[in-house]
């Protein structure tokens, strides 16, 4: 009886309350950010949580799959840098990654003419030196778009090579456009804001660390402590519901709880919701997803931040006619002429082709070539069948290299389709011209929705990371950030 009275007194006085770390937490999205948030919370004693994932798998834009005899990454593929990179800090002690080779390429016209290696090296060196930390980004020519800034820089470099006529210069600038929109996935480099270009914090060290024979999906196992010691695994997967597409996040209740509804009609009640869908999903669904509607500033930010597309095509061959082990090159890049681009643009099924930047070797997977399709091309390609993409990719490869190599026909192909998938709507975020015009920032996107002094809707994901947007390490750090927001709330 005495114990019952003591319990009743504690309950009435409020000492048995939220500080027991039992708030109901729902995490929307089981990508790198959602998995990181859940792992951090569970490690700190927050057990009353659930992850709702729209896909039939975890990982989000980290998607490691089996292809041919290898595992490959249809999404995130490389660890970008070492110092200040939380992903690298997690994997570095485990000896499961490898450093990249020198960044060298052969550059061919789409009709098979090899560009002078002297010019190729100059282009590569100049492009690599003219990065986000370059002081030249503050020049008068760099006050609007990155495209204008880089054109100004390279036009000056072209003067060193009299053999570069206007046609070749145009082809090279188009290739540089494709390379730039590989990093910032806009439709065009004139859409990428120069003013905030240096805000991105480049992690020192190798920017293209590979996973040897593994894939980036390994990072999820590391976060959940399934690897390298399975006996230490956190119960993240046990708290994850797959095929649970969230259709409504209702935070209108007077008791400060949130009701989350999924496509199958199930409802979940939470004290806090951590939203980690892609910016593409927020752009497409914010009007119907939230009740009440988001604030004007949050909506403006969602609309203003850039979110684009990219596509990878992996080809498997029976033989290694391209002998990657016997060259210092990373692959082959393509020069598309203005006439070719205009001709292909007139055919709805071929408009994507001149957005192909080239074919790369795949580290530790010697029978594979990987094509990269930038920006608008990736979006256009989603409408084609796999057979159409396969035939057209083989056509590009033959036209470019058949004069120089004994090109054989691939035996298999796999490609990504990020734009087509309504659970992503694209690949990753960037700072666009609209971002500047509308004063849209990752920091504003990351601000939680508060009720009665507590964060009820929190926002994670790579697009909410002001220094490391577009990356897996940015996504992981954002998940940890929101988990720590709740940890600090209940610790205090």
Q: What is the DSSP letter of 203?
A: P
Q: Is the pLDDT of residue 3 over 80?
A: no
Task: Report whether pLDDT(122) > 90.
Answer: no
Cβ contact 201:471 at 8 Å:
no
Q: Which of 474, 457, 480 is nearest to 25 (CA)?
A: 457
Q: CA-CA distance, 456 to 451, in Å (whole number)?
A: 6
Residue 265 CB-density burial (10 A; 0-12 exposed, 13-18 middle, 19+ buried): exposed
pLDDT band at 13 (very low <50, low <70, confident <90, very high): very low
Give the pLDDT mean for 476-482: 98
Q: Is the pTM of this model over 0.85?
A: yes
Give the model confidence (pLDDT) of 67-85 as tens digits: 999 999 999 999 999 999 9
Residue 457 sits at the vertex; the CA angle it makes with 452 and 460, to the nearest 5 degrees, is 140
Residue showing tokens 């951090």: 40
Domain definitions of the chain by residue range: 25-62+211-307+429-491, 101-205+310-415
CATH class of 101-205+310-415: alpha beta
**Using one digit for the tens of pLDDT, what is the confidence trace for 343-388?**
999 999 999 999 999 999 999 999 999 999 999 999 999 989 999 9
Would you say 429 and 441 are in contact if contact means Cβ atoms under 8 Å apart? no
- Residue 197: per-residue pLDDT: 82
Q: What is the DSSP string of 62-118?
A: --EEEETTEEEESS---B--SBT-HHHHHHGGGT--BPPPP--EEEEETTSPBPPHH
pLDDT digits (tens, 9 = 90+) for 195-240: 888 889 999 999 999 999 999 999 999 999 999 999 999 999 999 9
Which of 15-19, 47-51, 164-168, 191-195 has the least mean pLDDT? 15-19
pLDDT-wise least confident of 15-29, 125-139, 198-212, 266-280: 125-139
By C-alpha distance, which of 394, 7, 88, 54 is closest to 247?
54
Distance between CA 71 and CA 54 in Å, rounded? 23
**pLDDT confidence bin for 19, thresholds 50/70/90:** very low
3-state helix, strand, coil in the chain (%, to 5): 40, 20, 40
CA pair distance 291, 126, nearest whole angstrom:
50
pLDDT at 16: 29
Superfamily of the domain at 25-62+211-307+429-491: FAD/NAD(P)-binding domain (3.50.50.60)
């Amino acid at each position: 009886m005495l114990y019952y009275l003591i319990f009743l007194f504690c309950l009435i006085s409020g000492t048995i309350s939220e500080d027991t770390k039992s708030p109901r937490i729902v995490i929307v999205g089981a990508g790198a950010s959602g998995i990181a948030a859940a792992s951090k919370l569970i490690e700190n004693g927050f057990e009353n949580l659930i992850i709702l994932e729209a896909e039939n798998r975890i990982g989000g834009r980290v998607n490691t799959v089996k292809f041919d005899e290898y595992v490959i990454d249809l999404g995130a593929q490389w660890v970008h840098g070492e110092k200040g990179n939380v992903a690298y800090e997690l994997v570095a002690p485990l000896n499961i990654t490898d450093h990249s080779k020198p960044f060298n390429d052969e550059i061919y016209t789409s009709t098979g003419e090899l560009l002078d290696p002297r010019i190729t090296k100059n282009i590569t060196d100049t492009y690599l030196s003219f990065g986000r930390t370059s002081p030249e980004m503050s020049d008068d020519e760099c006050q609007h778009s990155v495209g204008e800034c880089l054109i100004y820089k390279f036009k000056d470099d072209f003067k060193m090579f009299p053999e570069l006529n206007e046609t070749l210069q145009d082809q090279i600038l188009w290739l540089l456009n494709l390379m730039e929109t590989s990093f910032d996935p806009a439709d065009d480099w004139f859409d990428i804001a120069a003013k905030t270009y240096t805000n991105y914090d480049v992690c020192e060290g190798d920017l293209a660390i590979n996973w040897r024979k593994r894939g980036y999906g390994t990072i999820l196992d590391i976060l959940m402590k399934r690897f390298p010691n399975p006996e230490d695994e956190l119960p993240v997967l046990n708290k994850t519901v797959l095929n649970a597409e969230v259709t409504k996040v209702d935070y209108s209740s007077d008791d400060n709880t949130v009701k989350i509804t999924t496509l199958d009609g199930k409802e979940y009640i939470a004290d806090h919701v951590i939203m980690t869908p892609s910016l593409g999903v927020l752009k497409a669904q914010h009007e119907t997803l939230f009740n009440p509607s988001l604030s004007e500033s949050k909506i403006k930010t969602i609309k203003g931040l850039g979110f684009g597309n990219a596509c990878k095509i992996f080809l498997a061959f029976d033989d290694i006619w391209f002998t990657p082990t016997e060259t210092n090159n990373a692959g082959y890049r393509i020069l598309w002429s203005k006439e070719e681009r205009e001709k292909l643009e007139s055919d709805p099924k071929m408009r994507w082709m001149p957005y192909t930047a080239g074919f790369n070797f795949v580290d530790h997977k010697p029978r594979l070539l990987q094509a990269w399709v930038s920006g608008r091309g990736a979006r256009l390609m989603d409408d084609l069948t796999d057979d159409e993409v396969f035939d057209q990719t083989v056509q590009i490869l033959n036209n470019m290299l058949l004069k120089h190599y004994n090109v054989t026909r691939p035996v298999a192909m796999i490609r990504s389709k990020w734009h087509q998938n309504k659970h992503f709507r694209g690949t990753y975020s960037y700072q666009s011209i609209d971002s500047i015009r509308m004063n849209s920032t990752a920091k504003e996107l990351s601000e939680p929705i508060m009720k009665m002094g507590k964060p009820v809707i929190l926002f994670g994901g790579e697009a909410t990371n002001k220094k490391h947007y577009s990356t897996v390490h940015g996504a992981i750090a954002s998940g940890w950030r929101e988990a720590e927001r709740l940890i600090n709330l209940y610790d205090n």
